[in-house]
């Protein structure tokens, strides 16, 4: 398999400094060598830079860094589309606002291929706010709503170049949802498997049902992995920790099932804030999870000290 990695060092979407260092930390934790050892060829495409920043103002005065995020989204969309022609893409965030661009660029690619794009959103949060409903104003809380065509982004964010049907989105691991998001998710038809569902049913049957849908529709599959999908006990390097997240084995099982499915065409690794990490353990875990997604098996697992 040929993989391309692309750094997307955005931090202004999260409301705190540090995610800009995410791509460096993921590279330092050995992402390229892990993938190479699994038999893949890897091209490191370097980093995206934002487009020209234009002034923009919005009625919601809580919004932070709107012109910057719009400039980033424009550049990321084009870069994601261009780079995804013949590679499995791995986008190194950066905060989760990068997915406004990665999803849209990949959706354009899927539209051209005549295949539906499915999205697996692994996160404590659905990031389904609109520009009107966010009260924190941090734009890492809106990318899924934007990319799946929810109203209120027109005239502010770039015009969508690719389409995602919200009913083709599955959010897994959710445990922090605002009221406005809850209503919007239901109306849009997003499948939400919150932590309680995972507790009651186990993560495997929930994921299997979604993967069967992707396969039955010959879909492409974009996976967006937010560090806070994981329990903060094992992944402390994120600005938005929420207790009660996915365990080490639940997370690896998701990645192993994704590998077995052979369906994944692109991946975001987002919200890693190395400034909050403990001797690189979260960065290392994110790389290990990526290795599971790309074919590492338990029987091959090297022993490491955390």
Q: Enumerate the active-site residues.
A: 96, 123, 125, 127, 140, 226, 228, 271
With respect to Mg ion, which residue has the nearer C-beta, 38 or 198?
198
> To the nearest whole angstrom, how small is the minimum distance from the Cβ of residue 226 to Mg ion?
4
Six token digits for residue 102: 């990665």
With respect to Mg ion, which residue has the nearer C-beta, 108 or 125?
125
With respect to Mg ion, which residue has the nearer C-beta, 177 or 206?
177
Residues forming the site for Mg ion (CB under 5 A): 96, 123-125, 127, 226, 228
200: Cβ–Cβ under 8 A, 6 or more apart, which residues?
Answer: none
CB 76 within 8 A of CB 100: yes
> To the nearest whole angstrom, how small is the minimum distance from the Cβ of residue 306 to Mg ion?
22
| Radius of gyration, alpha carbons of the chain | 17
With respect to Mg ion, which residue has the nearer C-beta, 35 or 91?
91
With respect to Mg ion, which residue has the nearer C-beta, 127 or 231?
127
> To the nearest whole angstrom, how small is the minimum distance from the Cβ of residue 297 to Mg ion?
28
Please give the full DSSP string across the chain, using - where no structure is assigned: -EEEEEEE---TTTTSS-GGGHHHHHHHTTHHHHHHHTT-EEEEEEE-----------S-TT--SHHHHHHHHHHHHHHHHHHTSSSEEEEEESSGGGHHHHHHHHHHHHHHHT-PEEEEEESSS-----TTT-SS--GGGSHHHHHTT-TT-TTTSPPPSS---GGGEEEEEE----HHHHHHHHHHT-EEEEHHHHHHH-HHHHHHHHHHHHHHTT-EEEEEEEGGGB-TTT----TT--SS-B-HHHHHHHHHHHHHHT-EEEEEEE---GGG-STTHHHHHHHHHHHHHTT--GGGPPP---
> To the nearest whole angstrom, how small is the minimum distance from the Cβ of residue 2 to Mg ion?
28
With respect to Mg ion, which residue has the nearer C-beta, 87 or 102?
102
> To the nearest whole angstrom, how small is the minimum distance from the Cβ of residue 56 to Mg ion?
23
> To the nearest whole angstrom, how small is the minimum distance from the Cβ of residue 140 to Mg ion?
6
């Amino acid at each position: 398999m040929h993989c391309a990695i692309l750094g997307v060092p955005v931090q202004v979407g999260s409301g705190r400094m540090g995610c800009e260092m995410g791509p460096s930390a993921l590279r330092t934790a050995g992402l390229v060598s892990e993938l190479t050892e699994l038999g893949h060829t890897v091209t490191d495409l370097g980093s995206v830079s934002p487009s020209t920043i234009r002034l923009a103002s919005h009625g919601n005065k809580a919004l932070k860094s709107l012109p910057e995020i719009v400039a980033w989204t424009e550049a990321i969309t084009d870069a994601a589309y261009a780079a995804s022609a013949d590679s499995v893409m791995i986008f190194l965030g950066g905060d989760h606002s990068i997915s406004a661009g990665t999803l849209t660029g990949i959706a354009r690619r899927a539209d051209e291929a005549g295949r539906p794009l499915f999205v697996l959103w692994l996160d404590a949060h659905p990031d389904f706010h609109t520009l009107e409903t966010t009260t924190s104003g941090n734009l890492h809380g809106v990318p899924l709503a934007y990319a799946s065509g929810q109203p209120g982004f027109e005239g502010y964010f770039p015009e969508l170049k690719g389409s995602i049907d919200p009913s083709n989105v599955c959010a897994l691991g959710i445990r922090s949802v605002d009221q406005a998001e809850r209503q919007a998710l239901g109306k849009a038809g997003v499948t939400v498997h919150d932590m309680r569902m995972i507790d009651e049913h186990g993560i495997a049957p929930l994921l299997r049902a979604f993967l069967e849908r992707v396969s039955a529709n010959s879909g492409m599959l974009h996976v967006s992995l937010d560090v806070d999908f994981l329990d903060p006990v094992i992944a402390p390097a994120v600005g938005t920790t929420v207790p009660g997240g996915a365990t080490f084995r639940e997370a690896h099982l998701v990645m192993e099932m994704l590998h077995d499915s052979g369906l994944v065409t692109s991946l975001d690794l987002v919200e890693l804030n190395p400034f909050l990490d403990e001797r690189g353990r979260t960065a290392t875990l994110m790389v290990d999870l990526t290795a599971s997604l790309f074919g590492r098996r338990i029987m091959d697992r090297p022993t490491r000290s955390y």
